[in-house]
Structure 1
Amino acid sequence: MSRENGRPDAGASDAGEQLALIREAVRETKTERAKPRTWRGAELAAELPVARVLVDKGLVHLDRYFDYAVPAAMDQEAQPGVRVRVRFGAGEKGGRREGGKLVSGFIVERVAESDYRGVLAPVAQVLSSERVLTPELLALCRSVADRYAGTLADVVQLAVPPRRARAEAKPSPAPLPPNPPPEPGSWERYGAGAGFLAALTRGDAPRAVWTALPGATWPQELARAAAAALAGGRGALVVVPDGRAAARVDAALGELIGAGRHVLLTADAGPEERYRRWLAVSRGAVRAVVGTRAAMFAPVADLGLVALWDDGDASHSDPHAPQPHAREVLIQRSVHERAGFLLGGLSCTVEAAQLVETGWARPLTAEREVVRAAAPLVRTVGDGDEARDAAARAARLPTMAWQVVREGLQRGPVLIQVPRRGYAPRLACERCRTPARCRACAGPLEARDAGELCCAWCGRPESDWHCSECGGARLRAQVVGARRTAEELGRVFPAVPVRTSGRDHVLATVPGAPALVVSTPGAEPVAEGGGYAAALLLDGWALLGRPDLRAGEEALRRWLGAAALVRGQVEGGTVAVIAEPTLRPVQALVRWDPVGHAVRELAERAELGFPPVSRMASVAGRGEDVTELLRSAELPVEAEVLGPVPLPVPDPGRPRRPGDPPPGEQWERALVRVRPGQGAALAAALKAARAARLVKREGEAVRVRIDPPDLG
C-alpha cells in the first residue's frame, strides 16, 4: 500500500489539492524507495528512521498509515504504540513539505525505508512514552474496522481512552500471584458448569452459551468463571450492560479473589481514574477486568476468558462509528487470542442460538426440574379482560392481576414493570388501538388536566376525534408512564409505600418490606431478603407491537429480567403478565424457555433469509446518494438490494440520535443482504465505494452500518 506524508482535512482543504495528493499516491507505487529526508537537514535516528503513523483522522479514504521521519532526539521515545503529534496535510514549497496542522496519532511500527519518494516531515512531538497501542490491540482494532466497514482510526478511538498525564506519572502496583481455583458453587446447578470452570483453570478455551437460572446469583457465577481463568495463570474480561450490573459483578469478584487483583472500568469512575485503571491493565499489573461496553477492548495480557452478560441489551452496541457490538468484538478476541468464551443471560438471543446450532459454542443450561424450582409461577391475563370490582378498575388492572398484587403485598415487595417512563400517556383507539393523531400535523394527541384533547406537537385542540381506521370515538391510554402508574396504584393501596425507578432516578436495591416498586424495563432494583413476592408486567402488547424484527425477543428479554427478581415458585413467587396468552413470547415466559423461543426465531429467520443467518448492511442518506453509492459499489455476487425506502422523520420533540438525518431532510435507506461467508466482501465493497465518493467529492455523505440491530 502506498504511503504519503499527510494531507489536509477534507472539510478544510480544496478539492484540487485532494485530487493532487491522490494522484501522487498512485505515482508512488512506480518509484524506487527513498531514504528519508527531513526539514533543514535535521539528524535522523541511526536505526529504523521512519515511523509509520496512524493519524487520528476517521475519514474512510484516509484509512492507511503515513510515513514520518524520526529525529535522533526522539529515537528512544518514538517507539511503536506511543502517542505522537505530527504535521498532517503539509504542502510542497521549494521541494520540501511544509505547513499542515498538528494532529495526534500513534506510531504503529518503525522501518528502515519509506515508500514515499518526497521529503518526509519529522515527527513533531512524542506526547508520551507509554505504549498504549500494543500489537495485539492494533490487530483487534483492524479486524473490527474491516468487519464493520469502518476506519482503523475510529476503532482505535473507541479502544484507547484519552490520555491523562497525571495518571501516567503514577506507577502501577506489582502483579499479585494467582489464587487457587474457586469452588464450583452454584455452577453445579448447570450440567456442565463445573467442567467449564475446570477447563478454564487448565488453560483450555471452552466456548459456551449460558442460560442463567432466575435469581440473584448470576454475578457470583460470572465472578467464579473469571476466578477460574485467573487461577490458571491467564487473564479474564467480563463485559456487562450497565454500571449497576458492573458494580454487582465487581463486588462478587472482589469478595472471591481479594482486593488489587482486578479493576472496574466504567464511566462512573471519571476520566483520570478510569485511565489509571486502564493503564494498570495495559502494564500487566492486573489481569482481570469488569466493565461496560468500552471495556471490550481492554488490553488484558494473556487473555483466558471473555464473558458477556445479556447480549440482547441495546447498550452493548456502540453508537459511535463504526458501531461495533460487544458480542462480535469478544468473539473475535476469543478466536484471535485463543481465549475461553462465555455468553450469558437470563434470555437467549438468536445470535446466541446460532452459535450453538453451528457448533461454535456449547449450551450451558440447567435441567428442567431445576429451572421449574427456581422460576416463579407465571400467570397470564389478556389485556382486554374486564375488572369485576371497583378497586381493580381504579388501578387499570384486570381482577386477577390486582389480586396478585394484593396477595403479594402481604408477603413482601411487589414489582410493577411499565414499558415507558414519565407521566403523560399517549392515546389510541379503544377498539383497534390505532394511535390517535392530530389532523393538522399528525402529531400524537394527549389529554390535558381538564380532560381536553390536544396535539403534543402543535398544541391544536381536538374536540371531535374519530378513529381514521374503524371510526371509533372512544380512546384509551396507549402506554401509561411509570409516574402516573405509581400515582394510580398509590390511591388504590394508600397504606403501602410506592417507589419508582427509571432513567432519571434508578434504584439499586429496595428493602424487603411490603411496598410497590414501579420501574421501567432495565431499571428494576434488586429486592433485599430473597427477592420480590410478586411482579406485574403491564402493557405487554406495547412491547410486542413494535415494528421491529426483534420485538418478540426483546419483550421476552425484558419480562425475564423482571421476573427473575421474583422469588421461586416453591417460595410463593408469582408473576402476572398482561398480554395475549397465545403469543409465542408469552408462552416462552410461562414455560421459562428462552432457548426454545430463540431456536424457533432462528428457524424463521433462516426461512426468510434474515440476520444472523445472512449478513446485512444498511445504507442511509439522501435518495440519490444511496442509489449512486449502490450503483458504484462492487457488491458480492448474488447480493440482494432491498429498497431504498423513505425513513420515518424523527419526532422533533426528542433529542437527535446517531444516525438521524439532518433537520429538514428526508432520508432513504436500502438494505443489502448477502449469504453467509460474504460479509467481509460486502463490508469491503461498501467501504471502497464510500472512499471513492469522498475523493471525488460526489454528493452528500452516506451512512453505512453493518448488521443493523433495527430492521423494522
Structure 2
Amino acid sequence: MSPRTSGARQRASERPIGTVLPMLGLAHLDRPFDYLIDTDQDADAIPGVRVRVRFAGRLVDGYLLDRIDESAHEGKLGWVERVVSAEPVLTPELAQLCRAVADRYAGTMSDVIRLAIPPRHARTEKEETPPPESVVGVPDGEGWDTYAHADSFLTSLSDNHPRAIWQATPGEDWPTRLAELAARTAAAGRGTIIVVPDQRDLDRVAAACSPLLGDRCVTLAAGLGPTARYRRWLAIRRGAASVVLGTRSAIFAPVADLGLVVVWDDGDDSLVEPRAPYPHPREVAVLRSHLEKSALVIGGHARTAEAHALVAAGWANDLVAERVDVRARSPHVIALSDEDNRIARDPLARSARMPAVAFDAVRKALADDRPALVSVPRRGYIPSVACERCRTHARCRACHGPLQVHADGAVDCRWCGRPERAFRCPTCGGRRVRALTTGARRTAEELGRAFAGVPVTTSGGDTVADEIPTGARLVVATPGAEPVADGGYGAGVIVDTWAQLDREDLRATEDAVRRWMAVGTLVRPHGDGGTLVVVADATLPAVQAVIRWDPVGFADHELAQRVELGFPPAVTMASIDGSPEMITSFADTIELPDGAELLGPVPLPPGVRPPAGGDRGEQIEGEAERILVRVPRRTGRALSEALVGAQVRRNTHHETGPIRVQVDPPTIG
C-alpha cells in the first residue's frame, strides 16, 4: 500500500490513534508513540501487526500495540506510513512477556521482540494453514510412577498450573516422559512449549512426541531456514499447532492458551543467549508461567543452583524419585580413593591419565560385548600446549588465543587459525612446545593401540555421532556429543577432570557435575554390570555428588555457598563490560539502590572474549574490563531500573563507544 500525502488522508472513524512501538533499540526511546491511522489502513491496522512509521525524519519498523480514541500527546501527530502486513504477529500475551523480559534484564522491548518474532516472509503469510487433524488421547502415567507425588502433579496439569523441578533418574527415557506431559496438556485443550539445548535433543523429543501428538506438534530451530521457520511460527500463532519443541528462542513461541512450559537441562551452555538483553530461557519460562498461569517443569539429570533456588523459596516443588530407585538405576561409580584396594595397589593411579581401574572397566565391558565410553573435555588432537622449558601457555601472536597441535605436527591458533611456524616463548625464549591437554582424536589414537582390533568411534566437534551399533566398541566423545548406545554402555570413563574443575568460573564445579552425570546416565545400571570411572579425587564434593548420585544435595550445597559468598542466584548481579574509561563513566551515572555493592573493575573473565562486542554489536577494541554490581534479590528489579536509567542518560548525552550490560551474566569469573 503506497501512502498518500498528508493532506489527502482522513482519520479512521473509530479509534483513529494507534500506539506504536518503533524498533529503535535505544533505552531512552523504549516506549510507545501515538500515530494517526487513516481510513485506508483501518481494516488492516489490528493490534500486533507490523507497521512503518516516520521517526525523527526517517522510516522505521514498528509494531502496533493498541488503538485508542484520544492521545495524551498535545502536539501534532504523525501518520502511520504503511501497514506492512495484516498478520497480527505480536499477540497481547507475547507483548506482555517481551516487556517483562526487557524489564528483568535491563534491556529494551524492541531487542526482546527481535528474539521472539522471526523475520517476515510475505509469500509465506499468504499461504493457508490447515487445521490439525490428530486426535490426542491421555497417555498412561506408568513411566512417572518412580517419582514421588507424580500422580498429583499429572492430575493438576489439566486444571491447575503446578511448578516442578524434575530430577530425572539415570537412564530415564526423558523424551518420552516429556512427550507424555505434552500429550496430557494437549488432551486438556491447552498448549505446551518444550525447550531443549541443541538439535540432537530436539530430534529425540520430536521422535517421542510424534506418535502421541501427530500434526499438533511442530519444531522450531534456527537450522530450519528462515522460510520454514516462519511458516511453522505462523502455524503456531494461527492455532494450527499447540505443542512447540525447540531450542532457546522457542520459549517465546506464540502458543495460544499456554498450559505447560518445559526447559530441559537448563545448565547447558547452548541455552545462553548471545544477543542483548541476554535472557536465559529458564528465567523467561518462570516469567511466562507466572504471567500466563501455566504449569512449569525445569528438568535434567543434574540440577543448577538457579533451579534449586526456586524449590528453596517454595515457588516450585521437587519432582524426584525415591532413593532406592535412584540407586537401582545408577551405575557403579569409582573414583580415586586410598580406601579402594585397586587404587592403593596402583602406584601410578593418581598420576596416570587412565589408571588401571579404568582400563579394567573398559576391558570388562568389551569382553561382555558391550561398548565403552571415554569422555574427554577437549576435542582435536592436542588442543592446548605450553613452552617445553618454562611451561608458559603458548599463545597466538595475532589474537593471543591458545595454540594447538594437529596430528601431522602443524601448530596453529585455536581461535583465529593463524599458523605458527616459528614458535618462540616470550618468557624464556624457548622454541619447543609440550602438550598441556590431550584431545579426543589423540585419545582415540592411543586407545586404538591399547585395544587392538576393537573399533573406535570419535564424536565431537564437526563430527557428532547420534547412535552407535551394538557390540564391543570404544567411543571417545567430548561433553555433549556422547552418542546413545542401545541398552547403555558397559563402562564409562571420564578423564582430564581437572580441565573442568580448574576453570576460573563460578559455575565450573556445577557444570562438571552436570557433564559427568550426563555421561553416567548413558551407562547401564550397576546391577547390569555398568561402571562409571571418574578419574578424580573421591574426596572432592563434585565427585562425591556423582558417587552418591545426589544432584539435589549437591545443588543445595552449591546454593548455600552462593548465599554465603553473595553470588547469583542468592543475589542479583549485573556486569558492565567495556573499555576502562567507558565502564567507569557508566558506573558513575548509576543511581544504585539501597544495599548495592560495586565490585571491580577487573579484567574480563576467561571465555567472555572472543568475541566481545557491545549491546549494539560494536567491537570492544583494546583492553576490556568488567565492573560488577551486586544487590539483594528483593531489589533486583530496582537494579534493572537503575541500569536502564544509566543507559538513558548515556544515550541522551550522546556518549559513544561500545558497552555491554548483563543482568545475572552466565560467566562471572
Pairwise same-fold verdict (TM > 0.5): yes
Q: Distance in 2 between matches of 1:183 and 1:573?
A: 30
Of 440, 447, 458, 1:482 maps to: 440
Contact 1:38–1:69 at 8 Å: present in 2 too?
no
Contact 2:20–2:35 at 8 Å: present in 1 too?
yes
* 2:514 paired residue number: 557
Q: Distance in 1 between matches of 2:611 and 2:523?
A: 35
Identity %: 49
Q: Cα deviation per residue 1:264-313 (whole Å; 9 max; x = unaligned)?
A: 11223222122111111111122111111111001111111111100101
* 1:493 paired residue number: 451
1:345 and 2:300 are equivalent in the alignment: yes
Q: Which runs of 5+ in 2 are unaligned?
A: none
SS at match of 2:634: coil
1:310 and 2:265 are equivalent in the alignment: yes
| 1:697 Cα deviation after fit | 1.4
1:615 and 2:561 are equivalent in the alignment: no
| 1:51 Cα deviation after fit | 1.5
Q: Distance in 2 between matches of 1:467 and 1:360?
A: 59
Q: Which runs of 5+ in 1 are unaligned?
A: 1-36, 91-99
Q: Distance in 2 between matches of 1:260 and 1:293?
A: 22
| 1:181 Cα deviation after fit | 2.0
1:61 and 2:19 are equivalent in the alignment: no
Q: Distance in 1 between matches of 2:512 and 2:444?
A: 22
* 1:226 paired residue number: 182
Q: Distance in 1 between matches of 2:614 and 2:585?
A: 23
Of 21, 42, 48, 1:75 maps to: 42
- Superposed, 1:161-310 pairs within 5 Å as 161-176=118-133, 179-201=136-158, 203-257=159-213, 259-310=214-265
Q: Cα deviation per residue 1:304-343 (whole Å; 9 max; x = unaligned)?
A: 1111100101222211110000000000111111111111
Contact 2:613–2:660 at 8 Å: present in 1 too?
no
Q: Distance in 2 between matches of 1:138 and 1:167?
A: 23
| 1:353 Cα deviation after fit | 1.2
* 2:365 paired residue number: 408
Change (3 A) 1:568 1:559: same
SS at match of 1:76: coil
| 1:373 Cα deviation after fit | 0.9
Q: Distance in 1 between matches of 2:664 and 2:93?
A: 25
Q: Which amino acid is the alignment partner of residue 100 of structure 2?
A: S
Q: Which amino acid is the alignment partner of residue 223 of structure 2?
A: D
1:44 and 2:11 are equivalent in the alignment: yes
Of 377, 384, 388, 1:426 maps to: 384
| 1:460 Cα deviation after fit | 4.3
Q: Cα deviation per residue 1:655-679 (whole Å; 9 max; x = unaligned)?
A: 6677898364111111000012111
Question: Which protein has the larger Cα radius of gyration, Structure 1 or Structure 2?
Answer: 1
Q: Which amino acid is the alignment partner of residue 485 of structure 1?
A: T
Q: Cα deviation per residue 1:542-573 (whole Å; 9 max; x = unaligned)?
A: 10000011111000000111111111111111
1:516 and 2:474 are equivalent in the alignment: yes
Of 361, 368, 378, 2:323 maps to: 368
Q: Which amino acid is the alignment partner of residue 169 of structure 2?
A: L
Change (3 A) 1:434 1:511: same
Of 68, 76, 79, 1:111 maps to: 68
Runs of 4+ in 1 over 3 A off after TM superposition: 115-119, 175-178, 385-390, 392-396, 427-431, 433-468, 473-477, 648-652, 654-664
* 1:568 paired residue number: 525
Q: Distance in 1 between matches of 2:45 and 2:410?
A: 70
Change (3 A) 1:393 1:709: closer
Of 463, 479, 485, 1:527 maps to: 485
Q: Which amino acid is the alignment partner of residue 155 of structure 2?
A: A
Contact 1:649–1:666 at 8 Å: present in 2 too?
no
Contact 1:412–1:513 at 8 Å: present in 2 too?
yes
Contact 1:378–1:574 at 8 Å: present in 2 too?
yes
Q: Distance in 2 between matches of 1:275 and 1:393?
A: 54
SS at match of 2:639: helix
Contact 1:453–1:462 at 8 Å: present in 2 too?
no
SS at match of 1:416: strand
1:690 and 2:657 are equivalent in the alignment: no
* 1:672 paired residue number: 629
Contact 1:51–1:70 at 8 Å: present in 2 too?
yes
Q: Distance in 2 between matches of 1:342 and 1:449?
A: 45
SS at match of 2:552: helix
Q: Cα deviation per residue 1:331-362 (whole Å; 9 max; x = unaligned)?
A: 01111111111110000110111111111111
Q: Distance in 1 between matches of 2:492 and 2:28?
A: 53
Q: Which amino acid is the alignment partner of residue 601 of structure 1?
A: E
Q: Which amino acid is the alignment partner of residue 380 of structure 1?
A: A
Contact 1:501–1:517 at 8 Å: present in 2 too?
yes
* 1:159 paired residue number: 116
Q: Distance in 1 between matches of 2:360 and 2:440?
A: 20
* 1:145 paired residue number: 102
Q: Which amino acid is the alignment partner of residue 498 of structure 2?
A: W
Change (3 A) 1:449 1:496: closer
Contact 1:85–1:124 at 8 Å: present in 2 too?
yes
Contact 1:350–1:601 at 8 Å: present in 2 too?
yes
Between 558-567 and 50-59, the greater mean CA deviation after superposition: 50-59
Give the TM-score, by structure 2 length: 0.91
* 1:27 paired residue number: none
Q: Distance in 2 between matches of 1:698 and 1:532?
A: 58
Q: Which amino acid is the alignment partner of residue 346 of structure 1?
A: H
Change (3 A) 1:440 1:200: closer
* 1:333 paired residue number: 288
Between 221-230 and 437-446, the greater mean CA deviation after superposition: 437-446
SS at match of 1:518: strand
SS at match of 1:625: helix
Contact 1:83–1:128 at 8 Å: present in 2 too?
yes
Change (3 A) 1:438 1:39: closer
